[in-house]
Structure 1
Amino acid sequence: MRKVFLFLFLTCLAVVSKAESIKSPDGNLELNFEVKGGIPVYQLTYKNKPVVKESKLGLDLKEGEDLLDGFTKTKIETSSFDENWNPVWGEVKTIRNHYNELAATLTQQAVDRYIIIRFRLYNDGLGFRYEFPQQKNFNYFVIKEEKTQFAMAGDHKAFWLPGDYDTQEYSTVTSDLSEIRGKMKVAITPNSSQTPFSPTGVQTPLMMKSKDGLYINIHEAALVDYSCMHLNLDDKTMTFESWLTPDAIGDKGYLQTPCQSPWRTVIVSDDARDILASKTILNLNDPCKYTDTSWIKPVKYVGVWWEMITGKSTWSYTDLPAVKLGVTDYSKTVPNGKHAANTAHVKEYIDFAAKHGFDAVLVEGWNEGWEDWFGKTKDYVFDFVTPYPDFDVKELHRYAASKGVKMMMHHETSASVRNYERHMDKAYQFMVDNGYNAVKSGYVGNIIPRGEYHYGQWMVNHYLYAVTKAAEYKIMVNAHEAVRPTGLCRTYPNLIGNESARGTEYEAFGGSNPDHTTILPFTRLMGGPMDYTPGILDTRISFLPGEHSFVRSTLVRQMALYVTMYSPLQMAADLPESYNKYMDAFQFIKDVAVDWDDSKYLEAEPGDYITVARKAKGTNNWFVGNTSDENGHVSNLSFSFLDPGKKYIATIYCDAANAHYEKNPSAYTIKKVVVTSKSKTTLKAAPGGGFAISIIEAKDAKELKGLKKL
Structure 2
Amino acid sequence: MKRGIRLLGVLLIMIQAVQAQELKSPNGQLKMSFELKKDGTPTYQLFYKNKLVVKTSKLGLELKDDKTSLLNNFSLSDTKTSTFDETWKPVWGEEAQIRNHYNELAVTLTQKETERIIMVRFRMFNEGLGFRYEFPTQKNLVYFTIKEERTQFAMAGDHTAFWIPGDYDTQEYDYTESKLSEIRSFSEGAVTENLSQTSFSPTGVQTSLIMKTNDGLYLNLHEAALINYSCMHLNLDDKNMVFESWLTPDANGDKGYMQAPANSPWRTIMVSDDARDILASKMTLNLNEPCAIEDTSWIKPVKYIGVWWEMITGKGSWQYTDDLPAVQLGVTDYSKVTPNKTHSANNTKVKRYIDFASKHGFDAVLVEGWNVGWEDWYGHSKDYVFDFVTPYPDFNVEEIHAYAKSKGVEMMMHHETSASVRNYERHMDAAYQFMNDHGYKSVKSGYVGDILPRGENHYNQWIVNHYQYAIEKAADYKIMVNAHEAVRPTGIARTYPNLIGNESARGTEYQSFGGSKPNHVTVLPFTRLIGGPMDYTPGIFEMDISKLNPENHSHVNSTMANQLALYVTMYSPLQMAADLPEHYEQFMDAFQFIKHVAIDWDQSIYLEAEPGHYITVARKEKGSSNWFVGNVNGNDARTSKISLDFLDKDKKYEATIYADAKDAHYKTNPQAYVISKKKVTHKTKLSQLSVPGGGYAISIMEVK
Report the counterpart of residue 194 of structure 2 in structure 1: 191
3-state DSSP class of the match of 1:150?
A: strand
Report the counterpart of residue 212 of structure 1 in structure 2: 215
Distance between the aligned counterparts of 2:254 and 2:449, measured in 1? 22
Letter in 1 for 2:597: V
Given that 2:35 and 2:44 are in contact with CA atoms closer than 8 Å, whether structure 1 keeps it comes out as yes
Report the alpha carbon displacement of residue 12 of structure 1 after superposing the two structures with TM: 14
* Count of residue correspondences: 690
Match of 2:387 among 383, 386, 390: 383
Match of 1:585 among 586, 590, 598: 590
Letter in 2 for 1:355: K
1:484-633 map, 5 Å? 484-541=488-545, 542-545=547-550, 548-633=553-638
Report the counterpart of residue 671 of structure 1 in structure 2: 676
Q: CA RMSD in A?
A: 1.2
Given that 2:503 and 2:535 are in contact with CA atoms closer than 8 Å, whether structure 1 keeps it comes out as yes
Report the counterpart of residue 480 of structure 1 in structure 2: 484
1:12-23 map, 5 Å? 14=15, 17-23=18-24
Given that 1:413 and 1:420 are in contact with CA atoms closer than 8 Å, whether structure 2 keeps it comes out as yes
3-state DSSP class of the match of 1:420?
A: helix
Letter in 1 for 2:178: S
Distance between the aligned counterparts of 2:15 and 2:406, measured in 1? 73
Letter in 1 for 2:532: G
3-state DSSP class of the match of 1:598?
A: strand
Given that 1:221 and 1:282 are in contact with CA atoms closer than 8 Å, whether structure 2 keeps it comes out as yes
Report the counterpart of residue 31 of structure 1 in structure 2: 32
Report the alpha carbon displacement of residue 599 of structure 1 after superposing the two structures with TM: 0.2
Single out whichever of 105-114 and 261-270 deviates more from structure 2.
105-114
Match of 1:687 among 688, 692, 696: 692
Report the counterpart of residue 374 of structure 1 in structure 2: 378
Report the counterpart of residue 702 of structure 1 in structure 2: none
Match of 1:302 among 302, 305, 325: 305
1:636-655 map, 5 Å? 636-655=641-660
Q: CA 1:547–1:347 in structure 2 vs 1: closer, same or farther (change >3 Å)? A: closer
Report the counterpart of residue 236 of structure 1 in structure 2: 239
1:186-335 map, 5 Å? 186-319=189-322, 320-335=324-339
Deviations 1:232-288 (A, max 9, x none): 000000000000000000000000000000000001100000000000000000000
Deviations 1:97-142 (A, max 9, x none): 0000000000012111110000000000000000000111111100
Does residue 1:45 correspond to 2:47, yes or no? yes
Distance between the aligned counterparts of 1:13 and 1:67, measured in 2? 25
Distance between the aligned counterparts of 2:525 and 2:488, measured in 1? 13
Report the alpha carbon displacement of residue 17 of structure 1 after superposing the two structures with TM: 4.0
Letter in 2 for 1:493: P
Report the alpha carbon displacement of residue 543 of structure 1 after superposing the two structures with TM: 3.2
Deviations 1:589-609 (A, max 9, x none): 000000000000000000000
3-state DSSP class of the match of 1:489?
A: helix
Match of 2:84 among 70, 81, 85: 81
Report the counterpart of residue 404 of structure 2 in structure 1: 400
Distance between the aligned counterparts of 1:317 and 1:568, measured in 2? 32
Deviations 1:653-672 (A, max 9, x none): 11001000001000110011
Distance between the aligned counterparts of 1:14 and 1:260, measured in 2? 29
Given that 1:480 and 1:499 are in contact with CA atoms closer than 8 Å, whether structure 2 keeps it comes out as yes
1:89-128 map, 5 Å? 89-128=92-131
3-state DSSP class of the match of 2:523?
A: helix
Report the counterpart of residue 60 of structure 2 in structure 1: 58
Given that 2:115 and 2:140 are in contact with CA atoms closer than 8 Å, whether structure 1 keeps it comes out as yes
Does residue 1:423 correspond to 2:424, yes or no? no
Letter in 1 for 2:440: Y
Letter in 1 for 2:53: V
TM-score by structure 1 length? Answer: 0.96
Report the counterpart of residue 463 of structure 2 in structure 1: 459
Single out whichever of 588-597 and 103-112 deviates more from structure 2.
103-112
Deviations 1:198-250 (A, max 9, x none): 01000000100000111000000000000000000000000000000000000
Letter in 2 for 1:264: R
Report the alpha carbon displacement of residue 14 of structure 1 after superposing the two structures with TM: 4.6
3-state DSSP class of the match of 1:602?
A: strand
Letter in 2 for 1:26: N
Distance between the aligned counterparts of 1:416 and 1:183, measured in 2? 33
Report the alpha carbon displacement of residue 51 of structure 1 after superposing the two structures with TM: 1.3
3-state DSSP class of the match of 1:584?
A: helix
Letter in 2 for 1:47: K
Deviations 1:496-537 (A, max 9, x none): 000000000000000000010000000000000000000001
Single out whichever of 315-324 and 466-475 deviates more from structure 2.
315-324
Q: Which runs of 5+ in 2 are unaligned?
A: 1-10
Report the alpha carbon displacement of residue 547 of structure 1 after superposing the two structures with TM: 5.6
Given that 2:19 and 2:76 are in contact with CA atoms closer than 8 Å, whether structure 1 keeps it comes out as no
Report the alpha carbon displacement of residue 15 of structure 1 after superposing the two structures with TM: 8.3
Report the counterpart of residue 165 of structure 2 in structure 1: 162
3-state DSSP class of the match of 1:129?
A: strand
Given that 1:63 and 1:141 are in contact with CA atoms closer than 8 Å, whether structure 2 keeps it comes out as no
Identity of aligned residues (%): 70
Report the counterpart of residue 704 of structure 1 in structure 2: none
Report the alpha carbon displacement of residue 376 of structure 1 after superposing the two structures with TM: 1.3
Report the counterpart of residue 344 of structure 1 in structure 2: 348
Letter in 2 for 1:136: K
Letter in 2 for 1:32: S
Report the alpha carbon displacement of residue 545 of structure 1 after superposing the two structures with TM: 2.9
Report the counterpart of residue 7 of structure 1 in structure 2: none
Distance between the aligned counterparts of 1:349 and 1:661, measured in 2? 28
Deviations 1:34-87 (A, max 9, x none): 101200000001011111100000000002220000000010111111000000
Given that 1:25 and 1:98 are in contact with CA atoms closer than 8 Å, whether structure 2 keeps it comes out as yes
Given that 2:313 and 2:548 are in contact with CA atoms closer than 8 Å, whether structure 1 keeps it comes out as no
3-state DSSP class of the match of 1:300?
A: strand
Distance between the aligned counterparts of 1:479 and 1:431, measured in 2? 16
Distance between the aligned counterparts of 1:68 and 1:219, measured in 2? 22
Q: Which runs of 5+ in 1 are unaligned?
A: 1-9, 700-710
Report the alpha carbon displacement of residue 632 of structure 1 after superposing the two structures with TM: 2.3
Report the alpha carbon displacement of residue 544 of structure 1 after superposing the two structures with TM: 3.0
Distance between the aligned counterparts of 1:361 and 1:600, measured in 2? 31
TM-score by structure 2 length? Answer: 0.97
Given that 1:377 and 1:414 are in contact with CA atoms closer than 8 Å, whether structure 2 keeps it comes out as no
Letter in 1 for 2:630: G
Letter in 2 for 1:625: G
Report the counterpart of residue 8 of structure 2 in structure 1: none
